[in-house]
Structure formats: C-alpha cells, structure tokens
Chain A
Amino acid sequence: MNFIGIVSFVSDMIIPIVVSVMIIFGMKKKISVYDTFLEGATDGLKITVKILPTLIGLMVAVGILRESGFLTFLSELLSPAANVVGFPKEAVPLSFMRLVSSSASTGLLLDIFKNYGPDSFIGRFVSVMMSCTETVFYTMSVYFLSVNVTKTRYTLAGALIANAVGLAGALVITIVTFGK
C-alpha cells in the first residue's frame, strides 16, 4: 500500500473507531446507550434547525456577491498588488473565495488543478493553502448568531490575521519545499 493509501485508510478508520469506543465505554458504565443517543440526536437536530436561517441569510449574501461579479472584480483589482509582493495572481480569486464559501472555493481549486495541474507550482501552493485556511465568514456567523451575539469585537480581525499568516506561510513553505 502506498502512502496515500495508508493516509486514507487511517482517516477511514477514525469514525468507526471513535463510534465503537464511545459505545463500548458507555455500555461498560452501564448507560442505556440507545436512549442516550436519541437524546443527543434530538438536540443535534435542533442545532441544525437553529442554524438554518443563518445559513440561508449568509449563502444568499455570498451568492449575490458572487453572481454580481463583484468578487471577480475585487480579485482582479487585487491581482497587481498581489504580483508586487510575489503572490501568484492565478491564486488570488481562490484565496479570497476561501474565506467566504467552501463550495465556491472547491470549484476554483479544481479549476486550477485542471488548468495548471496539481503538481505545478501554483497547484502545490493552493493545495497547501487550502489546508491552512478556513471559511471565516460562514463559521463566524453560524457560531455567533446561534447565541445571538452581534458585537463580535476583535474576532474577525484575529481570524483574518491567522488566515493571512497561513496564506503567506503556505507560499513560503511551498517555495522552500518544492522550489518555484
């Protein structure tokens, strides 16, 4: 088995192991596991219902921004500046979209793989970059709105700094590891 096979085998094993361990341990402690499961699952469903309005509001806002062409416009605007600091301009729209929408950024990622190949410099860079950044706006909205907090203080600033460092780090690490 090659390395990627081992990695995907291990990740396939995580869920079955965690689920089994939880149940075995619960039974050992004489817990009525199925009743407890149902209790938790009911709460889990409530969570999903609770975040649905947030999701609708946010995905429509992102959808409008994307369909209007504004995101493309903004990333084109940023491209020259990105080029000055040595940031590959092909990756600007993706880096940007990554913060907003995971489905849209996956689409852009696959575009890059298709056009440049996953083993090109840009392909490697976006692979590394995708693993150290997060959909900030979505996560923030869902978590804060679930408890009705509207004053988010420095959360956005902190998250953007972390993602910017991730982005810059991904670029430097890719250059150091694979060359340009």
Chain B
Amino acid sequence: MLNILWAAMILIGVVYALVTNRIDSVTSACINSSAEAVAVCIKMAGIVAFWSGIMRIGEKSGLVSALARRCYPVLKFLFPTLNPRSKAMEYISANFIANILGLGWAATPPGLLAMEELQKINPDKKSASREMCMFLIINMSSLQLITVNILAYRSQYNSANPSEIIGPGIAATLLSSIAAIVAAKVFERATFGKAVRE
C-alpha cells in the first residue's frame, strides 16, 4: 500500500508537470524537499533525544507504568488482545497523553517505541497487526485538545477573540476520535474476527 501510494505521488507529479510544462519544478522539488527533510530532522533530533531521555527516567522510576495503569480502563477497550502489563501498553499511553496535551514531538518517541513493541508480537512481520491499526488510526484522528499554534496565528492576524475556537475545536476533536475508534473496530472485526484474549 505505502509502496504504491509513494510511487503514485511521484509519477503523477512528474506526468502532470510534463503536461503543464513545469517539468523544471520537479527537479527543484527533489532538491529542495530532500534538503527540507534533513533540516526538519536536525531540528527534531535535539528535542526528540531530550524527550526520550526524560521519558527513560520516567520509565525506570515506574512513573510511566503508573500512568499507563490509570489509562488501562480505556486502553483495555481499545486493545483487548494486548497484555496490560506490556511495554507496548506503556508506550501507547505515553503517546496518547502527549498527543492530547499537544506535545507532538514528545509523542513521537513513545509512538515509535510502541510500534517496535507491537512488531515483536506481530505474527506477520510485513503486515500491520490489529493493535497497530487501532493505535495509528486513533493517533491520526488528532487527539490534541487545544491547538496552541492556531490560537497564536489567530491573534497574530488580529482576531477579536482568538480563543473562541477552543470549545468547538475540542468538540470536533472528540467527534473525529470517536469516528476513528468506531471505524477501526468495524474494520478490525471484518479483518481479524472477534477479539480473543490470549
């Protein structure tokens, strides 16, 4: 799926540029975007490394697992087949909490670690497991309650009341997250069958 998607994006772009006589833009996109990717990564590296270090302290002290236990009633419903005491469960809760608080870059390290843990128990290493699909669909439904960036942009452009969108934003976020859970559960049932605790 990702292979096809990626190839299609590039090929469609090239063909469209050819047709509209903007083929030079493809060359500049290759150069500029790859440089941009490295720049983003370098910018991210520091904060991701810092946060991974802080997270590790929390893991060792047991703070993260204590937090995960608090989340377990909700996570049990989302991941019925996943061991509640597993590392994967800890990382998933850390990722969700960071996302809800709007700490995007703090969410990435535990998120990737969660994928690693889930891959260890994945019976088919090339295909997404039940838990991976659920985790990522919820992750991509936007969990962030308050988008501080948007508030900043709104006041920068002289909004009379920049924060008036917080309430509606939270309502819409809840809606999309509920849709994510329902969609993931329905697809899951159709693909993997009923969840059975091992």
**Hey, which bits of chain A sit against chain B, CB under 8 A?**
3-4, 7-8, 11, 14-15, 18-19, 21-23, 25-26, 28-29, 31, 33, 36-45, 47-48, 50-52, 55-70, 73, 103, 106, 109-110, 113-114, 117-119, 123-124, 127-134, 136-137, 139-159, 161-166, 169-170, 173-174, 177-178
**Hey, which bits of chain B sit against chain A, CB under 8 A?**
1-3, 5-6, 9-10, 12-14, 16-17, 20, 22, 25-26, 28-30, 32-34, 36-38, 40-41, 44-45, 48-63, 101-103, 108-109, 111-112, 115-116, 118-119, 122, 124-128, 132-133, 136-137, 139-142, 144, 146-173, 175-177, 179-180, 183-184, 187-188, 191
A4 to B156 alpha-carbon distance, docked (Å): 12
Chain B binding surface SS class: helix
CB within 8 A of A118: which of B14, B122, B146, B157?
A: B157
26 A/B residue pairs, CB under 8 Å, sorted by A: A7-B166, A8-B148, A52-B37, A58-B37, A69-B22, A114-B157, A117-B158, A118-B158, A119-B159, A119-B161, A124-B164, A128-B168, A129-B172, A130-B147, A130-B150, A131-B165, A131-B173, A134-B140, A139-B140, A141-B2, A149-B127, A151-B128, A153-B133, A158-B187, A163-B176, A177-B168
